[in-house]
A and B are shown apart, each in its own frame.
Chain A
């Protein structure tokens, strides 16, 4: 069965410091992974999709199939990056469903 693990419930960094939000997955098929961000009490917003290889708001993520990881990185944290971040795995066939991790709350301190 598919699984997404985000080991950190809370990550606290200082403004200007590098950020790495960890995501590991378990899936027997070819993985397709996403990062979503949720600012306080708002809807989830798509941040990144691994196949697009874009950089959004300074964030990047690389799929590492050997380590089954899709960590989210940003070189210099900004106060406005404080939010909840979710990693999600798309399972193809039967509804194209997303399996989410439990999320990591990022807090950027001044």
Chain B
């Protein structure tokens, strides 16, 4: 599992509330990614990081922000959750061989 964990694994929240999802890795990988998975869309990149304090936007970044203050943690924040952000969120790392390995996912429901 490449030492990747995500927390929480499940969350139900109300529209308009802020939500932060955490991705933690234990193997010092430089690149980390946040994706969302939705039926009919596959996985879409939200944001990624290429080092501490270095982040960039992906395909579907509106409504999301990220932070990476240390190598092992990559946080995804929904500033004001909306029902359209109900999804399964996956974190990934890029290995030294150039392959991406994924965390177990966080199932987020916005009511």
Instruction: List residues of A whose CB falls within 8 A of some B CB.
Output: 6, 9, 32, 34, 36, 42-46, 49, 86, 90, 94-103
Contacts and interface: CB of A to CB of B under 8 A. Distances in A.
A94 B104 CA distance: 25
B48 A95 contact: yes
Nearest to A98: B100
Contacts of A86: 42-43
A49 B98 CA distance: 10
A94 B41 contact: no
Contact of A96 (B40, B44, B98, B102): B98
B102 A44 contact: yes
Given A43-B1, A44-B90, A96-B31, A103 B42 contact: yes
Contact of B56 (A6, A46, A94, A102): A94
A43 B105 CA distance: 6
Contacts of A98: 33, 43, 45, 100
Q: Which of A34, A49, A97 has the most CB of B within 10 A?
A: A97
Counting chain B CB atoms within 10 Å of each CB, the highest count among A6, A90, A96 belongs to A96
B64 interface: no
A42 B94 contact: no
A46 B31 CA distance: 17
Given A102-B42, A103-B42, A43 B90 contact: yes
B42 A46 contact: no
22 contacts: A9-B40, A32-B98, A34-B99, A34-B100, A36-B102, A42-B104, A43-B1, A43-B102, A44-B90, A44-B102, A45-B102, A46-B100, A46-B101, A49-B99, A86-B42, A95-B31, A95-B56, A98-B45, A98-B100, A99-B45, A100-B43, A100-B44
